[in-house]
A and B are shown apart, each in its own frame.
Chain A
Amino acid sequence: MTIEAEPITAAPTKPKLALYWAASCGGCEIAVLDIKEKILDVDAAFDVVFWPVAVDFKVRDVEAMDDGEITLCLFNGAVRTSDNEYMANLLRRKARVLVAFGSCACEGCIPALSNTTTRRATLDWAFRDSPSTDNPGDVRPQTQTVTEFGTLELPEFWETVRTLDQVVDVDYYVPGCPPQAHQIWAVLETVIDILQNGKPLPPKGSILGAGDKTCCDECPRVREEKRITGFVRPHEIIPDPDTCLLDQGILCMGPATRSGCGALCVTVGVPCRGCYGPAPNSKDQGTKMVAALSSVIDSQDPAVIEQILDGIVDPVGTFYRFSMAKATLGRVNLEGSSPGDTEREEVGL
């Protein structure tokens, strides 16, 4: 189902708003509450028809709605289970405008780092190999357990974490882990204005609630694009407070990351890790970062370059910290290098 870039006119009844969380930590929900008293403006402008954390409506109420009956749905969280996928499909059908809200729904976020390991390794570690697990019989959770009184059920745990738009058609994106409150309000205010004044919607696929530059653009530090001869890790030095962290050799994802957060992390002395997603005109955050690094590494000698790059201790997990589900390199399958493999015994934990 798609929507056209045509005005949604305000009906006699208020437009309907839904918020949902799939595979997420709950931080996006709290971020919405952080718009504080403006939540009353939201309440005035919309009928909130579905919001599990705050309002008492149920999935069956959504199921009973007409297709397209919900005006706007903000969907946070990634998709890992059949439950998540069912809800994504249901809300896609019922909502005229579906928004991937927050880093998990947009790029997979931290949960998608799970795509660097396997379902088997995850289960083996959790239920057999972790040092606090006492499970000599290797008992595993089962989708069905028959007891004296009846059968107990668990859902399946899937192999891969997916973004919302890898499952259903998405109209807009609001990035961030979590989206910052002022940006959330800016998005809602725009939508309210569109609804109340009959203005056209932004082009489908637009990224809302974020800037159109990079994190560096908002960074208060002075960047001289110095050539660097090696990388240092954040705990290894006390950086100068006023100059660019990358210039000081600390790997900072700012050049590959969309603006919008207000450069919060770098302002308090901590390098960007990319939670606002790929920079404008870039689909792949890691590729963008590699390109950015190529211009700051102080050598033309392949051997020296390699030595400098060796200073980046976890390139995949850093370049794709928040966007692994969208990485063009695809599903990273590191069978044999995760907990649960045979090398495990060599480390005395």
Chain B
Amino acid sequence: MKEILIDPITRLEGHGKIDIFVDDDGEVADCFFIVPELRGFEAFCVGRPVEEMPRITSRICGVCSEAHHIASAKACDDVYHVEIPPAARKLRELLYSAFFAGDHMTHFYILAGPDFVMGPDAPPAERNILGMIHKLGIDTGKVVIGARAAAHDIVKILGGKTIHMVTALPGGVTKGVTPEERAELIDRAGTLLEAAKFTIDILNDVVLANQAYLDLILSDTYTHRFNSMGTVDENGHLNVYDGMIRVVDADGDQIVTYHPRDYLDNIAEHVETWSYLKFPFLKARGWTGFTDGSDSGLYRASPLSRVNAATGMATPLAQAEYERYFETLTGDASGATPVHQTLATHWARVVELVYAAERTMELARDEEILSPDIRTIPTETPTEGVGCIEAPRGTLTHHYVTDERGILEKVNLVVGTTNNHGPISMSIKKAAQGLITAGSEITEGVLNKIEMAFRAYDPCFACATHSLPGQMSMIVRVRAPDGTVVSEVRRD
């Protein structure tokens, strides 16, 4: 038996590692995706005043602090049984949509794009955002940087800070917008929308026009038939800010649609000895181990699964892209047949990017955001509440129980990346099995292609572990049984 340890560069800085065991014939015998970190947020938030939670839990992750801040504020509203004013809701959603678009841009260009623009086998020194800009031209770089800046500006205007925003609290938001600020919001929304359209062109020209990439996306190595989770509005359209949680099976048939408050009736988390991160599963199916298919308890919560779980998009450009996506990948533009190719997640992310940018513009143009009525003072006795939001990496749930003064007694968090722990493990294993075969040389390119299986999920270990440390880069190392390093690769 030979052990190939694809490891973060030893235990010294990694927060995710892959152990692949190869048998004497050189075939993959087993594979484990391990998260060697643990969070402590749930325990140390007990005793804190619940209204402080949006500002405390944002520190779970500096990359998607907005998701935690707003999910937390929604849970606080629920704890106090308070309905927030319409303008407050729109301001929260506006901020969140801009953040969401910016985050998807970052992933598409900086994390995932290089694999496709430069090629999965390109030298690591070129396989990065700088290599991409060199190849696609400086204008591409300007679009990416401009869109990131636009999203940050919107977050700063509405949230008070670009990282760890502070304005959402039980009953609404502390800051409205002036007409001058609204003009800025519309301007920045325009930048995001143009960047989203530009990204469709890049996707077409660079990825879809290349048959080799299409073949890679459609290959069995990167395909798994999982159940799909996502938030939908009253029309069944994909929503990233609010709605009901819908789960469909591998054939697209509904398993359940539930209100966030009922999450405990619908999902649970399994524990293994070899990872600090738990494995969520559907209660309707039970824990079925590492299996896929409609009967499995595992589900994905990602751009891919959200687009599968929805019946369409609420904005025109996103709907057009949604139809083209399903037409290309399943032959059925209606979206009734789910897509299961893990690498298609990148395209689903573009569908969501377009939606988030369009939604940002809709809300920025909405006159109601100028209303000064942005706070409802809670008057009910606080008890218990749940807040959900679609974090870029999956459905995020905050659940609080307080005493009659609003002091926290219990805190439970199920975060985006965690939902995907089981599917990520299986996707990596299948890719490893497809790519490491008897007698084949394990090149850096092979390792990168294994990494591509989990990169598609955009896993965020800071979030998943609520953990300290929270590192999203992954350094992988292949070791022979005697400890010699065969080769090494990293995800930055």
Residues of A that sit less than 8 Å from B by CB: 21-31, 34, 36, 52-56, 58-60, 77-78, 80-84, 86-87, 104, 109-111, 113-114, 116-117, 121-123, 125-127, 130-135, 139-142, 145, 147-150, 152-155, 157, 161, 177-178, 181, 233-238, 264-265, 267-270, 273, 313-314, 317-318, 321, 334, 337-340, 344, 347, 349
Contact = CB atoms under 8 A, between A and B. Distances in A.
Interface stretch (B198-206, B273-281, B315-323, B330-338): B273-281
B40 A135 contact: no
A159 B30 CA distance: 33
Contacts of B268: 132-134
B492 A53 contact: yes
Interface in B415-472: 462, 467-472
A121 B41 CA distance: 11
Contacts of A54: 492
A139 B269 contact: no
**What 6 A-B pairs are tightest by C-beta distance, nearest first?**
A27-B62, A268-B160, A23-B468, A269-B174, A149-B21, A134-B268
Given A59-B10, A265-B160, 16 more contacts: A22-B469, A23-B470, A27-B164, A53-B492, A56-B490, A114-B44, A127-B271, A134-B270, A145-B273, A145-B274, A154-B274, A155-B36, A178-B62, A273-B52, A347-B410, A349-B412
A31 B163 contact: yes
A278 B10 CA distance: 37
Interface residues of B, number: 99
Interface stretch (B165-173, B225-233, B242-250, B347-355): B165-173
B60 interface: yes
Given A26-B471, A77-B468, A269-B174, A122 B44 contact: yes
B414 interface: yes
6 contacts: A80-B468, A83-B11, A135-B270, A155-B11, A157-B38, A273-B55
B287 interface: yes
A73 to B, nearest CB: 14
B9 interface: yes
A133 B273 contact: no
B61 A26 contact: yes
Given A134-B268, A134-B270, A30 B44 contact: no
A27 B164 CA distance: 8
Interface stretch (B214-222, B302-310, B358-366, B399-407): B399-407
B39 A126 contact: yes
A178 B468 contact: no
B63 interface: yes
B25 interface: no
A54 B471 CA distance: 12
Contacts of A152: 19, 32, 34, 274
A265 B166 contact: yes
A186 to B, nearest CB: 17
Contact of A23 (B264, B271, B469): B469
Contacts of A132: 263-264, 267-269, 280, 412, 414
Given A29-B62, A317-B48, A59 B13 contact: yes
